């Protein structure tokens, strides 16, 4: 007895989903108005990366030397590949997305600098030789892309974290070590923050994914310097360098973090008034 209305409902919903699908397709067709640029790294995954991270034609994409990606090209330690993304050559940066084409998990992190320079350094895990790229979205809706090819031995993403070799790793979970440097003219501030965390990818046998997913950098009054969305490939005990724009009245910076099991942690990092002990950052990768 109940079959007829059910069928009716089904056919209705089917028609509706057809409608939605076709609408979606039309929408995509009109949106995909920008041409996909040829990949200077000639990655077999470039088309997929373009669709996944760069809106597949809905936004303009340019390869831009103002997106400096510094790394160690011949990877020595596939569990800890140092990467610095420096987009200070661009104005009005909204977001920095870092991804690696041939890693089992492509997305490494997304950084949204608010009152901060578009600059981030971190370490990540690689599973094999792969491009590492940074895409920087500016307020004029353009993705500026930079990147390099890494040469690496295998296995960084599928091996257990070192923490699991230690019986008491939970005792230090979410321990925060950090320091702030200010240049003598107060024009540059650098924050280095390191959090104790296994950052399990979920790809090692019998160990579920367990990683920090957000890190917010704020002033004590709640002004947002920058927000980090972190993914599985970021290395164990992640460490970041950021450049928040501190006011001279800011005497500390608040770091608020959360992992995917809902553990929240907060660290208040004191900011020195002035310091001359700030080294200058470089502009190129090493082999």
Partner 1 sequence: MDRRKFLRGTAALGLGRGLVSGCSAGMAGGMFLSGAIDQAFAAPLQYNLKASLIAPGTYVVVGPTEYFSHENGGNIVNTAFVDTADGVVVIDTGPSLRYGNELRRLIKATLKKDIVRVYITHHHPDHFLGNQAFEASKIASLPKVIENIKSQGEAFVENMYRLEGDWMRGTQVVLPEVSLKSSEIIGGHPFEVLPLGGHTSADLAILDTKTGVLFTGDLAFLDRAPTTPHADLNVWHKSLNDLEKIKHEVLVPGHGQAEGGGRAIAQTRDYLKWLETMMRSSIDKGLDMTDIMATPIPKRFSNVTVLPGEMHRSVAHLYRKMEEDLLPLITKGGG
Q: Using the rule CB under 8 A, which residue among 46, 50, 67, 71 binds partner 1?
A: 71
For position 84 contacting partner 1 by CB under 8 A, the verdict is yes
Q: Output the smallest distance, CB 253 to partner 1, in A.
A: 10
- Of the CA atoms within 13 Å of residue 41, those in its CB half-sphere come to 22
Q: Report how far apart, in Å, the C-alpha atoms of 228 and of each of 31, 41, 119 are.
A: 28, 27, 12
Nearer to partner 1, 206 or 279 (CB): 279
Q: Using the rule CB under 8 A, which residue among 60, 239, 251, 256 binds partner 1?
A: 239
For position 166 contacting partner 1 by CB under 8 A, the verdict is no
Q: Using the rule CB under 8 A, which residue among 4, 30, 249, 277 binds partner 1?
A: 277
For the chain, report the end-to-end CA distance as a whole number of angstroms: 73
* Range list of β-strands (E), 72-168: 81-86, 93-99, 107-113, 116-124, 130-138, 142-150
Q: Using the rule CB under 8 A, which residue among 8, 88, 91, 177 binds partner 1?
A: 177
User: How many residues bind partner 1, per CB under 8 A?
Assistant: 46
**23 contact partners, CB below 8 Å, separation of at least 6:** none
- DSSP letters, 130-158, are EEEEEEEEETTSEEEEEEEEEB--S-TTT
Binding pattern for the stretch 9-48 against partner 1, x by CB under 8 A and - elsewhere: ----------------------------------------
Mark out the alpha helices in the chain (DSSP H runs). 3-31, 46-53
Q: What is the contact surface with partner 1 in residues (CB under 8 A)? A: 70-72, 74, 76-77, 80, 82-84, 121, 123, 153, 170-179, 181, 190, 192, 194, 196, 237, 239, 241, 265-269, 277-282, 284-287
């Amino acid at each position: 007895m109940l079959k007829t209305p059910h069928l009716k409902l089904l056919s209705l919903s089917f028609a509706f989903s057809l409608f939605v699908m076709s609408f979606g397709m039309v929408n995509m067709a009109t949106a995909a108005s920008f041409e996909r640029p040829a990949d200077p790294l000639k990655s077999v995954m470039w088309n997929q990366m373009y669709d996944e991270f760069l809106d597949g034609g809905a936004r303009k994409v340019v390869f831009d030397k103002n997106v400096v990606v510094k790394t160690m090209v011949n990877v020595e330690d596939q569990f800890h590949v140092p990467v610095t993304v420096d987009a200070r050559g661009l104005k009005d940066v909204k977001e920095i997305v870092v991804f690696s084409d041939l890693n089992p998990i492509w997305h490494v992190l997304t950084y949204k600098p608010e009152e901060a320079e578009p600059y981030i350094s971190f370490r990540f895990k690689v599973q094999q030789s792969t491009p590492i790229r940074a895409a920087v979205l500016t307020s004029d809706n353009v993705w500026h892309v930079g990147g390099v090819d890494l040469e690496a031995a295998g296995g960084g993403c599928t091996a257990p974290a070192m923490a699991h070799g230690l019986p008491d790793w939970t005792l230090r979970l979410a321990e925060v070590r950090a320091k702030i440097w200010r240049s003598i003219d107060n024009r540059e501030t650098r924050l280095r923050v390191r959090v104790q965390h296994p950052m399990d990818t979920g790809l090692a046998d019998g160990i579920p994914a367990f990683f920090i997913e957000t890190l917010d950098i704020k002033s004590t009054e709640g002004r947002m310097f920058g927000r980090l969305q972190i993914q599985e490939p970021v290395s164990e005990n992640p460490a970041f360098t950021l450049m928040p724009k501190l006011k001279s009245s800011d005497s500390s910076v608040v770091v608020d973090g959360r992992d995917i099991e809902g553990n929240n942690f907060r660290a208040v990092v004191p900011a020195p008034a002035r310091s001359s002990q700030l080294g200058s950052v470089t502009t190129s990768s090493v082999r």
